[in-house]
Amino acid sequence: MGKREICPIAYIRTDFKEKFGIPRQSGLVAELRARIVFCEEYRDERALLGLEGFSHLWLIFDFSEAHRDGWSPTVRPPRLGGNERVGVFASRSPFRPNSLGLSSVKLCSIEKTDEEGSVLIVEGADLLDMTPIYDIKPYLPYADCHTDASGGYTDTTERVRLDVEFPENLLSEIPREKRASLIGCIAEDPRPSYQDNEERIYSMHFAEFDVHFKVRGKCAYVVGVDKI
C-alpha cells in the first residue's frame, strides 16, 4: 500500500512549554486544564454534534518534538528505571516509527468563541503546548474500559508520589486556578529515574513561571518561583 499523508485537525494549548514536568500518562493530574483549538478548515460546528454527551475523549496526536530519522525496536521505559529495554510496541515511548500518541482526557465543556470557533476545554492532558492533534474520538465505557486488563511490567513497578512542600510566599506567586495542577505535576516526580541528588535544584517551566525545587526522600521542596 502507498503512503498517505495526515495533517493536524487541531492544536492543544497547555501550560507546558517544555517536556520536563509533563505527567508521564494522561489523567494522572486531573486538575490540568487545556484547550483544543481546531485548525480553520475544521471549525465546522456540525463536526461536534453529539460530542457534548461524552465525558471523556481519545486524542490521537503527534509526538512533534520526538521526530527522528529511523527507529529503534527497543526502548528504555521510565517505569523500569531507564535500565531495562522492552520492545517499542510494549511501551508508550514517544520514540516510535510514526511518532503517534494516544491520550484520554476529560471533556469539561465546548466553548464557542468568535476568533477560534468552538474550542474543547479538557482536563488531564499530558501534552506539550501546541502539540498537533490528528483525530478526536469519544471514549466508550462499555468498549474501552477493561476491568480485567493486566498491565505487563507496570504491574510490578511502584508508582511513587511525592509530598510537596510549597511555602505560602512562593505559592502566592502562582494564579490560584493553577496551583493544584502545578502541585500535582511536581508530586508525580518529573525527574529522570536515575537522578537522586538531594542537593540538585530542578527547574520546571509551567505556564508563565519557572518553578525550582529539590527532592529529598519522598518530599519535593519548592525553593523558588520566577515569572518569565
Please choose, from the candidates 127, 61, 130, 70, the residue with its C-alpha nearest in 3D space to the C-alpha of residue 96: 70
Residues 6+ apart with CB under 8 A from 160: 189, 218
Q: Average pLDDT of 22-29?
A: 94
The pLDDT, as a whole number, for residue 4 is: 84
Helix, strand, coil tally for the chain in percent (to 5): 20, 35, 50
Q: Which domains does the chain have, with CATH numbers?
A: 10-64+99-144 (2.40.30.70), 159-227 (3.30.2310.20)
- The enclosing H or E element of 142 equals helix 141-144
The pLDDT, as a whole number, for residue 60 is: 98
> When comparing pLDDT for 79 and 204, which is higher?
204
| Residue that the C-alpha cell 516510535 belongs to | 96
Q: What is the pTM of this model?
A: 0.92
How confident is the model over 38-64, as pLDDT tens digits? 999 999 999 999 999 999 999 999 999
How confident is the model over 60-70, as pLDDT tens digits? 999 998 898 88
| Secondary structure (3-state) at 168 | helix
How confident is the model over 81-140, as pLDDT tens digits? 767 899 999 999 899 999 999 999 999 999 999 999 999 999 999 999 999 999 999 999
Quickly count: other Cβ atoms within 10 Å of residue 62's Cβ: 20
